[in-house]
Amino acid sequence: MDTHLHAHHDEVIGIKADAAARTHVSVERRQAMVREAAVDPNGFWGKEANRISWMVKPSKIKNTSFHDDVQIKWFEDGILNASVSCLDRHLEEGRGDRVAILWEGDDPSMDERVTYRELYNRVCRLGSAMRRLGIGKGDVVTIYMPMIVDAAVAMLACARIGAIHSVVFGGFSPDSLASRIQDGNSVALITADEGRRGGRSVPLKANADQALLECPTVKHVIVARNTDAPVNMHPGRDHWWATLARHADPVCQPEPMNAEDPMFILYTSGSTGKPKGVLHTTGGYMVWASFTHEVVFDYRPGEIYWCTADVGWVTGHTYIVYGPLANGATTLMFEGVPSYPDNSRFWQVVDKHQVNIFYTAPTAIRALMREGEKPVKRWRRDSLRLLGSVGEPINPEAWLWYYRVVGEERCPVVDTWWQTETGGILISPLPGSVAQKPGSATLPLPGVKPALVDNDGKLLEGATEGNLVITDSWPGQMRTVFGDHERFIQTYFSTFKGMYFTGDGARRDEDGYYWITGRVDDVINVAGHRMGTAEVESALVAHPKVAEAAVVGMPHEIKGQGIYCYVTLNAGEEPSDALLAELRNWVRREIGPIATPDAIQWAPGLPKTRSGKIMRRILRKIAANELDGLGDTSTLADPAVVDDLVANRVM
């Protein structure tokens, strides 16, 4: 990764008096929470469980072990339905007319306000309709949607009837969609005619039709009308959402779910080619979503909260849908991109909807920073009081720009570290009670026990650097890899015995602050999108002219990391610019636009050990143009290939 991402930065931005005055987690309260969660987790989380609605309150709180078989159970005798905490409860408590979802279209002239009551009605109708189709508790339903209100309705309707949703990002290709549907054995798919982003349309239904050719388990497809583009409807299988909803029972009883019943699957990349179905259960996830959304964003009733993520990622699940809705917040859902119609869009939307809390990714901040201050200053932004960052390390320069230019030094910045697997934020400042250091995610939340270990698993003390592990369970933790518990144990609990391994490296400073340095495995983070290099490699070798491929991350100014590919062609094939363009398009088609290679280098050979293992360390260095530190290449089968790669590196 780029060295500027790791620049040590000694500046400490104190706890702003203003923020401290308004925040409800004071320094003292935070300390008390940290202490209580450590000393008496059952007492602490038993109390926090009351923040959501239960049909039967749990009497057993924590029952977890990271050893041997790995057992993670929270609130195990509790019964609940996640949609009740997000909907019914607010209606019963007089919040029915509050805006739940504030939708802002890709087209700046389009928006929609959906109250809690309207959301409840839409969810119930879809839930009833799905039940009528025979979909129920434990069935997996894939959701492949644009960023429209119906995406959240679909998720909540699944939760209401006990179906397990598996949201697939709308930017994924038909192949990527198909493999996720197959892995989950989904019985139904919810999609839309088209999506819209940055003025362009995304043919979701057409992609889905192509994917479904290979997905015999899917019996029903529910299609939302969004752009009104013509689509093919497959008789008997495909249903218009609106038609189903019109005939559906407006009453939809929430399915009673055990706290440990599965709530959703979300696929994420690991070191191997096949994405893992991260499985979250109901009780612990909901408590964690609600707790972290409130304490990290210091959420106050009546405030407008905006997380710019997509519901296709975990950030969208926890911090657009479940966390904010559980807390009765008004959550802004944005269909578009920061650069359309122009680079001031974020700030124009902040003013238009008087946004108080704004949560985005470092890649967006860096892209906007490059455009200078003018597009920011065109808008007032005086409603903002808190800024958040997520998805990748934020370099101090970008942090400071966000803090000074966007927030005018008035808004605390919460740099939130977490993962799909963790369900919600684990390391972050609590505004008003933790002094900020630009570039550091700072300290663990109450109940979270991070540690650093060396490569042998030895715990490291004090100011140091190492592999980031978590030594005890928290309620929002994933429970298994869908359909493959062995892989769950292998991936997360076998590298370091008895500890959850995050796959990240981190530094800890003298104040105990964590500075995440990035992945230590073969996962790269491209513009905040997590990607397995093995996935891109298998897409490349699927091309008939490619013999072999190795993919590594390279430093990228805006995206954090870019995708650098070394490609060996089959004997007799000649490199050409046309083939280069063809391979780029090939990967886009196989995985999706987010996987588009930034650089492709023709490699007559790859550096391998005598036993045939590719030396990725060397490939990463060449891609990063760090040619002095290539290290010992004498163990390579053919050291000359390195000279060739160095001489012909691209970009």
Of these, 169, 358, 403, 417, which contacts ligand PRX (CB under 6 A)? 417
Regarding beta strands 480-481 and 276-281, do their DSSP bridges make them parallel or antiparallel, or are they unpaired?
Answer: antiparallel
- Which listed residue (268, 433, 495, 568) binds ligand PRX by CB under 6 A? 268
Is 606 in contact with 571 (CB distance < 8 Å)?
no
- Tokens 């803090």 sit at which residue? 403
Would the annotation count 541 as a binding residue?
yes
- Contact at 8 Å (CB) between 563 and 535? no
CB 530 → ligand PRX: shortest distance, Å?
Answer: 4
Tell me if 292 is assigned to a ligand binding site. no
Residue 254 known to bind ligand: no
* Residue 179 found at the interface with ligand PRX (CB under 6 A): no
Residue (of 401, 345, 393, 395) closest to 370 by Cα position: 401
Q: What is the DSSP letter of 609?
A: B
Residue with smaller CB distance to ligand PRX, 66 or 417: 417
The smaller minimum CB distance to ligand PRX, of residues 124 and 441, is found at 441
Helices (H) and strands (E) in the chain, counts: 22, 31
φ, ψ (nearest 5 deg) of residue 536 = -70, -40
Pick between residue 177 and residue 223 the one whose CB is nearest to ligand PRX. Answer: 177
Give the whole-angstrom CA distance, residue 141 versus residue 159: 10
**Which pair of structure tokens corresponds to residue 463?**
């100011």
Longest CA–CA separation in the chain, Å:
73
Q: How far is the CB of 358 from ligand PRX (least distance, A)?
A: 15
Nearest-approach distance from CB 419 to ligand PRX, in angstroms: 4
Segment 609-613 long-range contacts (CB within 8 Å, at least 24 positions apart): 609/635, 609/636, 609/637, 610/635, 610/636, 610/637, 612/637
617 assigned binding-site residue: no
CB closer to ligand PRX out of 194 and 392: 392
Q: How far apart are the C-alpha atoms of 88 and 74, rounded to whole Å?
A: 23
Cα angle 274, 279, 282; round to 5: 165
Angle between helices 204-212 and 174-184 (to 10 degrees): 50
Output b/e per residue, 71-96; b: 16+ Cβ within 10 A. ebbbbbbbbbbbbbbbbbbbbeeeeb
Could you say whether residue 328 binds ligand PRX (CB under 6 A)? Answer: no
Contact call for residue 503 and ligand PRX (CB under 6 A): yes
We find the least distance from the C-beta atom of residue 533 to ligand PRX, in angstroms, to be 14
Q: Phi, psi at residue 540, to the nearest 5°?
A: -65, -45
User: Which one, 296 or 516, has the nearer CB to ligand PRX?
Assistant: 516
Kindly indicate which of the ranges 102-110, 146-154, 174-182, 499-507 contains the residues binding ligand PRX, using the contact rule CB under 6 A. Answer: 499-507
Q: Binders of ligand PRX among 383-402, rule CB under 6 A?
A: 390-393
Stretch in the footprint of ligand PRX (CB under 6 A) among 18-26, 321-329, 457-465, 514-522: 514-522
Number of residues in contact with ligand PRX, rule: CB under 6 A? 22
Residue number, 468 or 600, with CB nearest to ligand PRX: 468
Q: Which residue lies nearer to ligand PRX by CB, 360 or 502?
A: 502
Q: Specify the stretch interacting with ligand PRX by CB under 6 A; choose among 169-177, 219-227, 239-247, 498-506.
A: 498-506
504 binds ligand PRX (CB under 6 A): yes
Beta bridge partners, 267, equal: 277
Check the annotation: does 418 bind a ligand: yes
Please give the Cα distance from 411 to 563 (Å, whole number). 34
What SS3 class is residue 434?
coil
Q: Does 277 bind ligand PRX (CB under 6 A)?
A: no
> In angstroms, what is the minimal distance from the CB of 345 to ligand PRX?
22
Asked if 420 touches ligand PRX (CB under 6 A), the answer is: yes
How many angstroms from the chain centroid is the CA of residue 421?
9
Using CB under 6 A as the binding rule, the residues of this chain from 428 to 467 that contact ligand PRX are: 441
Q: Which stretch binds ligand PRX (CB under 6 A): 34-42, 220-228, 413-421, 484-492?
A: 413-421
Long-range CB contact pairs, 574-581, < 8 A, 24+: 575/602, 579/545
Which one of the spans 46-54, 176-184, 453-461, 516-524 is the region binding ligand PRX (CB under 6 A)? 516-524
- Specify binding-site residues: 197-200, 315, 391-393, 415-420, 504, 519, 530, 541, 543, 546, 588
- Specify binding-site residues for Mg(2+): 541, 543, 546
Residues that bind ligand PRX (CB under 6 A): 268, 314-315, 390-393, 415-420, 441, 502-504, 516, 518-519, 525, 530
- Specify binding-site residues for ATP: 391-393, 415-420, 504, 519, 530
